[in-house]
Amino acid sequence: MASKLSIDYEAIPVTALNCNFRKKLGLYLNPTNAVAADWRTVAEMMDYTYLEIKNFEKREYPFEKVLTEWETRPEATVANLLSILEKAERKDVISDLKDIIDDDCRKYLERQLRKPVQVPVVDSCGPRTQELEGITLCDDPQGLTPETFDAFICYCKNDFQFVHEMIKQLEQTEYNLKLCVFDRDVLPGTCVWTITSELIEKRCKRMVVVISDDYLDSDACDFQTKFALSLCPGARSKRLIPVVYKTMKRPFPSILRFLTICDYTRPCTQAWFWTRLAKALSLP
C-alpha cells in the first residue's frame, strides 16, 4: 500500500524522518570538511546565528541537535530540508539517502491513513470520551458544551504578575477576550500534560507565550510551546504569539525567532502593545 502513495515533500514534516536517516545524515555532515559543506553551513542556511552554531559545536554530534531544534519550526518540512541540502551543494547526500527518505515519507503517509476512528477509551477510572469533559471551571459536566477560549496563556509562575495585568487589559476592557489561565481556569485532579494538550489544540484559538529568563527554565512552558508549534506548520494559522514584557539577560529562544513578537520593553511602542495583542487574538 505504501509504495502506491505519491509523496508531496512539502506536506511532510521533518519529524517523519526516522533514526536511521538521521544517523546517516550526521555521518555526512558532522565531520569537518574543507571541501564540501558540513553541518555548520547547513545550520547557517537554517537561519541559526553565529553564537547558536558555536554553541552547537560543543555537542559530540552537533547536526543531530541542529535538526532536533529546527524540526520544531513551522518551515521544517522534508521539502525545505532537501532544498537546503541542494543549495549547500550536497546533492551527494540527497542521492545517497533518497531511498531512505522516500521510505520514511511513505511510512508516515501510511500511518496517517491508518489513524483509528475516534472511539471511547476505557481505563481504570471508568469510561472517557475523546473530548475530555469537566476540566475547566465553566465546562458543562455532561460534556455537551465544552468551554472554549480566545487564547491559552503560556507562562511560568514568576511571571504571574504580568499575567494578572494581561487579564485586566484584555478581559476586563472593551476587548472582552477570554483567556485560558491554567492556575485560574483548570480544575485540580487532572493530568497536566493531557489537559494542556486538549486545551491548546481543541479549546483555544491561539496561544500567547510570555517570554522571560524564567520561561527558558520551565519544562511546562517548553512542552506547551513545542506542542503549539507542531499544530501550526508554516504559522499559517498565526496560532502562537510571543510576548516579551521585561528585559532578558539570556538569548531569546531560537525556535520562536521566526515569529513577530509583542514587545512591552520598548517605551516607544508600549502605547500600542495591548491594542496589537488584542487585535491578533481577535482574528478568526
| pLDDT tens profile 222-239 | 999 988 888 765 544 558
Q: How many CB atoms lie within 10 A of CB 154?
A: 30
DSSP structural state of residue 202: I
> CB–CB of 206/135 below 8 Å?
no
Q: How confident is the model at residue 5 (pLDDT cuts 50, 70, 90)?
A: low
> In this prediction, what percent of the chain has a pLDDT beyond 90?
52
Which residue did the predictor score with more confidence, 144 or 182? 182
Distance of alpha carbon 48 from alpha carbon 56, whole angstroms: 10
| Residue range(s) occupied by CATH 3.40.50.10140 in the chain | 147-280
- What class is the 147-280 domain? alpha beta
DSSP E strand stretches across 58-174: 121-123, 126-128, 149-154
Distance of alpha carbon 6 from alpha carbon 102, whole angstroms: 10
Which residue did the predictor score with more confidence, 230 or 216? 216
| Residue range(s) occupied by CATH 1.10.533.10 in the chain | 12-111
CATH topology of domain 12-111: Death Domain, Fas (1.10.533)
Q: At a CB cut-off of 8 Å and minimum separation 6, what does 33 contact?
A: none
- Tens digits of per-residue pLDDT, 162-205? 999 999 999 999 999 999 999 999 988 878 888 999 999 999 99
> Which pLDDT score, from 0 to 100, does residue 183 have?
92
Angular region, 134: left φ>0, alpha ψ -120 to 50, beta rest: left
**Axis crossing angle, helix 160-170 with helix 270-282, rounded to the nearest 10:** 70
Class of residue 161 by CB neighbours under 10 A (exposed 0-12, middle 13-18, buried 19+) = exposed
Q: At a CB cut-off of 8 Å and minimum separation 6, what does 72 contact?
A: 226, 229, 230, 255
The three-class DSSP label of residue 65 is helix
Residue 159 C-alpha from the chain's centroid: 21
Distance of alpha carbon 202 from alpha carbon 70, whole angstroms: 25
Range from 26-30, 111-115, 130-134, 274-278 carrying the lowest mean pLDDT: 130-134
Q: What are the grid coordinates assigned to 250, written together? A: 539570556
Q: What are the grid coordinates assigned to 274, written together? A: 495591548
